[in-house]
Amino acid sequence: MKLDTAPIAAIATASGRGGVGIVRISGKNLDGFIMDFFKGSHISLPMKPRFAYFVPFNDAEGNKIDEGLALFFKGPHSYSGEDTLELQGHGGTIVMQMLLKRCLEAGASIGMRLAEPGEFTRRAFLNNRIDLTQAEAIADLIDATTEEAVRSATRSMSGEFSKQIQSVAAETANLRMLIEATMDFPEEDTDFLAKEKPAERIEGLLASLDHILGQAAQGVLLRDGIHVVLAGQTNVGKSSLFNSLTGTNTAIVTPIAGTTRDKITESLQLEGIPITLTDTAGIREASEADEVEKIGIGRTWDEIGKADIILHLLDASIGPTREDEQTFNSFPENIPVIQVWNKIDLSGHKPSLDHIMGTTQVYLSTVTGEGLDLLKEAVLEAAGWVKTGESTCLARERHLTAIRDAGNHLAAAAEQAKNGENLELLAEELRLAQNALNSITGEFTSDDLLGKIFSQFCIGK
């Protein structure tokens, strides 16, 4: 991706009313802009870096728009890696727009334009201030919805995840160079390569990559969360369970079957993982339902198809029914299902968590609260969450894909190393593994992917 060196400007704070609003400007040489914008003020060039100037912000005719602080950051010691100026004024919507308009007017002579979404961070990446995983972590930190996600995003932003990937990539590159050197100088000591034990070294790389993959998978859960859907027959306690898990009274609970007509969604968190919990209309024969409930049941199946985990609610006081079995058999095969037996306060069952014939079953009571902790444990287990005590870095699905690709190439390289016959194929598999790892940090990444990643940022970041 080519770096556009035109100076850019944008409002860096959220829209709406606020105590403080910030306009951010970034460019290679802002001296001309600074002289024009601060004409008539006490600011002179060069501006002292990281020093707060209290100044008026005037329009082109010298009329005051606002007053506040101006801070200058000399590149490359700035967020974007370029000269950066931040104007901190009062956070009103109109005053910020007027201040931004004035900046674009004053910067017209040097080609200043409005920044695109994520362009300040994109310039930081292209100016080698951060790598791609750190850039993504900045966006993830802004979007984080739990404290654990914030901590994990901060670790990724500081470069912890990148260092793990770069360590494996560097060792892969070293081994690849060794193989290629052996190919280039076959007349040298024939035992040289054998002494380096390439097969053992590759197995070590695979072990390291497997550990990173496990951590990254946890990071994806913290970032993306889990969509959990409550489903089952009418009057089995879905809405009661929904209220118990969310700590709200959002869902209406009555003894009347079919009370819930449409989906209800709330957010919660388990072990720092964001959970989107959806209550749905009870499933029963359409002939028993009115037209509104039929629509609700249709939406139930739509929601089930989009779930990460399905909680299949059943009534422990009456046991399984033919309708329960039909519903269970209709669930998508690729989505984990937890069978939740409610009303153990009536059935006499003890709260329990069991795995029977490949299906997780939890016995609980929404009335007494017994078994709710077991259900939370089952949800985390079904999602793949493992509490190891290790620090987790936030990750994305593309990172998992790249790590798996690298692992596949390393596994193929290990087979070639054991056979010891075709060094060209061995070197090629190592090269492909190295490229897959480098795509994570952005050393080898397509412009299309970069454009997609940075377009998801807000303007001003």
For residue 81, the model assigns a pLDDT of 95
For residue 194, the model assigns a pLDDT of 62
Which CATH code of 3.30.1360.120, 3.20.20.410, 3.20.20.70, 3.10.290.10 fits the domain covering 8-130? 3.30.1360.120
For residue 423, the model assigns a pLDDT of 83
- Rounded to an integer, the average pLDDT of 336-343 is 95
Which overall architecture, per CATH, does domain 225-383 show?
3-Layer(aba) Sandwich (3.40)
**pLDDT at 29 exceeding the cut of 90:** no
Q: What is the DSSP letter of 38?
A: T
* pLDDT level of residue 160 (50, 70, 90 thresholds): very high
3 versus 134: the higher-pLDDT residue is: 134
For residue 344, the model assigns a pLDDT of 95
For residue 461, the model assigns a pLDDT of 84
| 374 close to 351: Cβ distance less than 8 angstroms | yes
**pLDDT at 261 exceeding the cut of 70:** no
Q: Provide the terminal-to-terminal Cα distance of the chain, rounded to the nearest Å.
A: 18
Q: Give CA–CA dist 266/109, Å, rounded.
A: 51
For residue 389, the model assigns a pLDDT of 67
**pLDDT at 286 exceeding the cut of 60:** no
For residue 49, the model assigns a pLDDT of 95
**pLDDT at 45 exceeding the cut of 80:** yes
* 449 phi and psi angles, rounded to 5 deg: -65, -45
Fold of the domain built from segment(s) 137-221+393-455: Four Helix Bundle (Hemerythrin (Met), subunit A) (1.20.120)
Do 137-221+393-455 and 225-383 share a fold? no
Specify the range with the lowest mean pLDDT, choosing from 177-186, 283-292, 294-303: 283-292
- Rounded to an integer, the average pLDDT of 107-135 is 94
For residue 262, the model assigns a pLDDT of 65
Sheet holding 337-342, edge to edge: 264-270, 273-279, 226-232, 309-315, 337-342, 359-363, 352-356
For residue 72, the model assigns a pLDDT of 96
Long-range contacts of 192-196 (CB under 8 A, 24+ apart): 194/420
For residue 417, the model assigns a pLDDT of 84
**pLDDT at 314 exceeding the cut of 60:** yes
* pLDDT level of residue 288 (50, 70, 90 thresholds): low
* pLDDT level of residue 299 (50, 70, 90 thresholds): confident
For residue 195, the model assigns a pLDDT of 65
> Assign residue 271 a region: left if phi > 0, alpha if psi is -120 to 50, beta otherwise?
left
Specify the range with the lowest mean pLDDT, choosing from 89-93, 280-284, 318-322, 336-340: 280-284
Domain ranges for the chain: 8-130, 137-221+393-455, 225-383
**pLDDT at 1 exceeding the cut of 60:** no
- Rounded to an integer, the average pLDDT of 73-91 is 95
- For 111-147, b/e burial (b = at least 16 CB within 10 A) is ebeebbbbbbbbbbbbbebbbbbbbbbbbbbeebebe
Specify the range with the lowest mean pLDDT, choosing from 160-169, 173-182, 289-298, 426-435: 289-298
- Rounded to an integer, the average pLDDT of 127-154 is 92
**pLDDT at 289 exceeding the cut of 80:** no
Q: Which two tokens stand for residue 142?
A: 């802004």
Q: Give CA–CA dist 270/255, Å, rounded.
A: 29
Q: Give CA–CA dist 457/395, Å, rounded.
A: 16
Long-range contacts of 442-447 (CB under 8 A, 24+ apart): 442/125, 442/131, 442/132, 442/133, 442/135, 443/131, 445/132, 447/1
Ranked by mean pLDDT, which of 73-87, 251-265, 317-331 comes out on top? Answer: 73-87
**pLDDT at 131 exceeding the cut of 60:** yes
pLDDT in tens, 189-231: 445 566 668 888 999 999 999 999 999 999 999 999 999 999 9
**How distant, in Å, are the alpha carbons of 280, 329, 342, 368, 427 from that of 365?**
19, 24, 5, 6, 59
For residue 155, the model assigns a pLDDT of 94
For residue 17, the model assigns a pLDDT of 86
Q: Which two tokens stand for residue 251?
A: 């869902």
Q: Give CA–CA dist 376/382, Å, rounded.
A: 10
H helix or E strand, kind and range, residue 250: none
